[in-house]
Structure 1
Amino acid sequence: MDFTRILPEECLSLIISLTSPADACRSATVCPALRSAVDSDAVWEKFLPRDYRSIILESSSSSLLLSLGKKDLYFHLSSHPILIQNGTVSFQLEKRSGKKCYMLGARALSIIWGDTPAYWTWKSQPDSRFPEVAELKLVWWLDVKGKIETRILSPNTNYAAYLVFKLKYRHTIGFRRRTVGLNVDIDGITLREERRVSLDSRDEPEYVRERGAEWMEVEMGEFFNENGYDGTVEFSLKEIDTSYHKRGLIIEGIEIKPKDIGS
């Protein structure tokens, strides 16, 4: 018996909305009779985060985005990060699951001596999603921190934080064959031992990965956001060995995104 001929579209939409975005798209491919139900706003409204409207209202393109159908909005947010919080943070959806992803731009980070032109400079970068990135001119003490509230992340989700950066290889000093410390803390509690990783992909290509437009990413650590309680996760990049100076690092931001999303 073909249940798609018996159940009204509203019931089909409700059933599909209890699955996942990936399953919904797969259902429409396997069973063309479900396509109308799969495309309905009722389905994709369930896949969008509950607070998606308030997030979108922080964007300069909020009117355009909120005029889209729910399915179109979902796929737009999964393919095009939107800038919020005065252009210092980006928001995106993980395409297969609909989980929330954020990137803290360099301006949303705490960078020691970041406002001292002799040490750091701020500039626009055509291939960055943010208006400004931070370029390291010269420091001995490298200390960069970012934080995010767990309540704005998706609950019951395993997240990982990634430093997104570039090295100007012809002008880089202090990173080849040297490591930096990477940490993730929740409410001041370090989740695991500090990671020591070289940011130069020639040293540790298994850890430093390309992500397009010559930007690189390295995992800083991971954490499980169980119930989205009112806590704070802090991420840090630190190297305080003052026996050598460092330069040539460009920081776009720290990205927080779900890890181990099944295929």
Structure 2
Amino acid sequence: MDFTRILPEECLCLIISLTSPADACRSAMVCPALRSAADSDAVWEKFLPCDYKSIISETSSSATLVSMGKKELYFSLFSHPILIQNETTSFQLEKGSGKKCYMLGARALSIIWGDTPSYWTWTSQPHSRFSEVAELKLVWWLEVKGSIETQLLSSNTNYAAYLVFKFRNTRTTGFRQRPVGLNVNVDGVVPGEGRRVSLDPRDESQHVRERGDGWMEAEMGEFFNENGDEGTVEFSLKELDTSYHKRGLIIEGIELRPKHIGS
């Protein structure tokens, strides 16, 4: 018996909305009778964050996004990050789950001496999603901090924070075999030990990898956001050895995204 001919479309939509975005796409492809339900706004709105309207209202392209169908909007939000909070933060969805991902741009971070031109300069990079990134000119003490409210993140989700950066090769000094301290804490409680990580790719650190967007990232730590209650996640990069000056580091931001077991 073909249940797709018996159940009304409202019931089919409800059933599919209880699965996942990937399952909805598979349903539309393998069963023509389910395609209308699987592609419907009723299904895909369930996969979007409950506060998606408030989030997209902050971007300059909100009118375009609001006019999209819910499936089209979902695909747009995982493939094209949007800029919010005066374009200092980016937001996107994780493709398979619809979980929230944020990147706090360099302007949304607290960088020690960041507004002192002799230490840091603010410039643009062709492969950055932000209009400005921070480039280190010369410091002996390096410290970068940031934070985000846990209620902005997806609940019941294991997150990791990543420093997104690159080096200006011909002018980079002070990072080879000299690790920095990376730390993540929730309301002052550190879920695990802080990390000592060399950012220089020549040191082949297990916590540093190349991204597909022209940048590198260093995993700073992870935490579990259980209920999304009021709280604050704080993350920091700190200099551990002040015996040497450093230059040439370019910071795009700090990204928070779901981390899956084994990834």
Closer, same or farther in 2 for the Cα pair 1:79/1:145, shift >3 Å? same
Q: Indicate if the aligned counterparts of 1:138 and 1:247 stay in contact, CA closer than 8 A.
A: yes
> Please, what is the CA RMSD of the aligned residues?
1.3
Q: Superposition pairs for residues 32-181 of structure 1, below 5 Å?
A: 32-181=32-181
How far the C-alpha of 1:9 sits from its partner, in A, is: 1.0
Q: Distance in 2 between matches of 1:132 and 1:138?
A: 18
Q: Indicate if the aligned counterparts of 2:160 and 2:223 stay in contact, CA closer than 8 A.
A: yes
How far the C-alpha of 1:31 sits from its partner, in A, is: 1.6
Runs of 4+ in 1 over 3 A off after TM superposition: none
Query: What percentage of residue pairs aligned between the two structures are identical?
Result: 79
The question of 1:19 aligning with 2:19 is answered yes
Q: Secondary structure at the match of 1:190?
A: coil
Q: Which residue of 1 aligns with 2:237?
A: 237
Q: Indicate if the aligned counterparts of 1:21 and 1:97 stay in contact, CA closer than 8 A.
A: yes
Cα deviation, 1:78-118, whole Å, max 9, x if unaligned, reads 10000000000000000100000000000000000000000
Q: Secondary structure at the match of 2:182?
A: strand
Given residue 102 of structure 1, which amino acid in structure 2 is its aligned partner?
A: Y
Q: Indicate if the aligned counterparts of 1:55 and 1:84 stay in contact, CA closer than 8 A.
A: yes
Q: Which residue of 1 aligns with 2:6?
A: 6
Given residue 245 of structure 1, which amino acid in structure 2 is its aligned partner?
A: H
Q: Superposition pairs for residues 185-196 of structure 1, below 5 Å?
A: 185-196=185-196
Aligned length: 263
Q: Distance in 2 between matches of 1:214 and 1:65?
A: 27
Cα deviation, 1:186-213, whole Å, max 9, x if unaligned, reads 1111221110011011212532111134
Q: Secondary structure at the match of 2:29?
A: helix
Q: Which residue of 1 aligns with 2:250?
A: 250
Given residue 260 of structure 2, which amino acid in structure 1 is its aligned partner?
A: D
Q: Which residue of 2 aligns with 1:219?
A: 219
Q: Distance in 1 between matches of 2:213 and 2:77?
A: 20
Given residue 173 of structure 1, which amino acid in structure 2 is its aligned partner?
A: T
Q: Indicate if the aligned counterparts of 1:197 and 1:204 stay in contact, CA closer than 8 A.
A: no
Q: Distance in 1 between matches of 2:158 and 2:27?
A: 26
Normalising by structure 2, we get a TM-score of: 0.97
Q: Which moved more, 1:217-226 or 1:239-248?
A: 239-248
Q: Distance in 1 between matches of 2:246 and 2:147?
A: 24
Cα deviation, 1:139-176, whole Å, max 9, x if unaligned, reads 01000001000001000000000000001222111111
How far the C-alpha of 1:121 sits from its partner, in A, is: 0.3
Q: Indicate if the aligned counterparts of 2:145 and 2:234 stay in contact, CA closer than 8 A.
A: yes
Q: Indicate if the aligned counterparts of 2:208 and 2:216 stay in contact, CA closer than 8 A.
A: yes
Q: Which residue of 1 aligns with 2:208?
A: 208
Closer, same or farther in 2 for the Cα pair 1:177/1:238, shift >3 Å? same
Given residue 105 of structure 1, which amino acid in structure 2 is its aligned partner?
A: G
Q: Indicate if the aligned counterparts of 1:135 and 1:250 stay in contact, CA closer than 8 A.
A: yes
Q: Distance in 2 between matches of 1:188 and 1:68?
A: 41
Q: Indicate if the aligned counterparts of 1:97 and 1:261 stay in contact, CA closer than 8 A.
A: no
| Structure 2 stretches lacking a partner, 5+ long | none
Q: Indicate if the aligned counterparts of 2:199 and 2:205 stay in contact, CA closer than 8 A.
A: no
Normalising by structure 1, we get a TM-score of: 0.97
Q: Which moved more, 1:167-176 or 1:103-112?
A: 167-176
Q: Secondary structure at the match of 1:212?
A: coil
Q: Secondary structure at the match of 1:125?
A: coil
Q: Distance in 2 between matches of 1:29 and 1:262?
A: 30
Given residue 54 of structure 2, which amino acid in structure 1 is its aligned partner?
A: S
